[in-house]
Structure 1
Amino acid sequence: MPRAILCILDSVGIGGAPDAEKYGDQGSNTFGHIAEWAADGRADRQGLRHGPLHVPNMDAMGLGAAIQLSSGTVPPGLSAVAKRGRFGVGREVSKGKDTPSGHWEIAGVPVPFDWGYFPQSEPTFPPKLIAEFIQRAKLPGILGDKHASGTEIIAALGEESIRTGKPICYTSIDSVFQIAADESHFGLDRLYEICEIAFELTKPLMIGRVIARPFIGEDATSFKRTGNRRDFAIAPPEPTLLDRNKAAGNQVYAIGKISDIYAGQGVTHKIKGTGIPQLFDKTLEALEMAADRAFIMTNFVDFDSEYGHRRDVPGYAAALELFDGLLPQMISKLRHDDLLVLTADHGNDPTWPGTDHTREQVPILVFSPSLSQGEIGIRSTFADIGESIAHWLGLSPGRHGVSFL
């Protein structure tokens, strides 16, 4: 009986979105620009790495061919020929370029509404919202109240936060309200508690997520975010692929931040993990436990959070090679009728101005020992991914998207 594994390589976009100009992202290409940087010799001269980007396993699944289909050019070191499985390109129809939009659409539910966003002005958050948040959460006040990079604002305000007991509140171009506090001094449970209060207050504004951003350390030189991040998210407006598979009596393994993104809906097994190797290992463990018709979904967040937002090109390149080197372990454990899908939820080009996501198309790489080779073209919605997995698992078709299997 079939099973399906869906790996979201968070932010590994491949350029070519027809509406990128609307978002100020025309010309962005996360994977393509990283590959060009690795191959042009600058990285070698600076001692950052040696040689072109090396991802032979994803390339064999059709990554180079998918990028050529999306942006018209094969990146250096990759091939235009897929050696196994099927490849194609996903095009998002949901508005925005944030995590919930991409993930919900991948799971068969395009976002039918506009998210709420906070302005670029400072202070950023509505005074009435902050006043009620401070009162209900019994806080001495907040720090931040602006658009910021998480690591930078923690470095700048972390010591004051520890000294005063005030959490750091900030946002980005995405529909988020983020709250950072020290795990030891402020307390992890206390951070989660005030995030729940903030979520209640921001939900009417259609802010997609309130994110708890715990960190540890005693000063700016030692502060480090931990793996205890938690997203408090608005629930999808209709049943996703996760809900549909659970309703059919099947297992749904949500690994990494997947459960948070879907507000816990449709999940039978929630598994946390930190870092690409651990998340990969957790996925393999789920595969060992998974029964017939199980659906396993993993978000590999480090591409986005550790390297994309930080505009760390060498770090992003190394992470891609790390994941690619692990991939044969997963392929070797697939049963004859298992399906493996690799894709992404948006872009985050580390060579692009700013620190935010980029509107891009995404690769769709599909493999099963029982599946023939071929091209699936440019799909008109990410929802085709969810519908293809639903078809593989024997579920009835959903309202959005068409299977390419």
Structure 2
Amino acid sequence: MLNQDTLREATRLTRAGQLTEATALLQRMFRGERAPAAQSAAPWRIRLPDRTPPTIDLEANDVGEIDRRASEAPTATPRRHRPLFDRAKDGTWLGLRGVKHAPTIMTDIVPEGAKFIEGTYSNPAGSRSYKLFVPTGYRGQPLPLIVMLHGCTQSPDDFALGTRMNFIAEEQTCLVVYPAQRSDANPSKCWNWFRSADQQRDAGEPSLIAGITRQVMQDYSVDPTRVYVAGLSAGGAAAAIMGTTYGDLYAAVGIHSGLAYGAASDMPSAFAAMRHGSGAGRHGVPRGPTVPSIIFHGDRDSTVHPDNGTQALEQAIGATRTQTKVHRGQIPGGHGYTRTTHADGERDILEHWNIHGAGHAWSGGSSAGSYTDPQGPDATKEMLRFFLENPRPPQPQGHRDAGQ
């Protein structure tokens, strides 16, 4: 049960820059423990700089109190706390595990002959760099474009390596762009899906991601009816935001181990949603046509509760009447899964993949990357298949295209 006094205190600590203390307080609440009694002479505590924006790592394990004896020099890091400080440097201070450094061998990321180009986009909300995959088959003809949003602590290279999206895009002749989150925007390089300011059209991070999309559409020949967005974890939550706020730009959305639009508005509600799901569902969503969506979630995900995948599906369905079919399958030597499809007339506009026994990882990905589970169905192939089956319907005559 959520304790409102605890949530208020966690919010106060967050605003004061005491993120470690706020996280520990929330985790005690979720375990049903009482907060420790206040001490008249509390030990000296280390706190992150006040200018550090709130950080949500999508795998929060126990964080102990960070305190030091008064006799220790204030500039020295206590030996017993050095592992925590080491994790803070790479964004794993809340317990993110399994992050690997991206390889230096580009042939593991990009097929021979293809290009992986760096770029930057800026607007009044800031700037973000990105990596763009250009397949060998590009000759100036209009191609589909997939926007891939990485998870916490990841990079475009790491995400491309783990998902192997570039290799599938090479087969299907698609462009793929990977926006990169900045560490000064979020120390763990998470997309700030839990902040209200980053959930709005033409503002914050959504404006930057949409701006990168449009910049690629201007620089390359892109079919405006086949522009898609997908992401993992925090990136999946950001993809849900993009599909909701820019339904005129993206033809379909892929959400892997993510959360629904509006699942949280601050740090306490983000932790609550991650642990127990949220009340987002079909409520509080800007009205508009259903954006086709494909959702993957492991039913053993202890980082982002599986109910979040169901809520993302309910949100995507909205008031649309669909015909539902359930398919069950098994990966030889791997996970079983339940795939539920929702058809609107002739095509499936919604798919939900419940992967049995899977945790918080990209299903069917390469073990060379971080947060992947090679034993699951191939989410990359299935997402691209779903995307290409769902181009954006033709716009009325005189309609200004979102990519222009």
Q: Which structure: greater helix fraction?
A: 1
Q: Return the structure number with greater relative CO, CA threshold 8 A, min gap 6.
A: 1
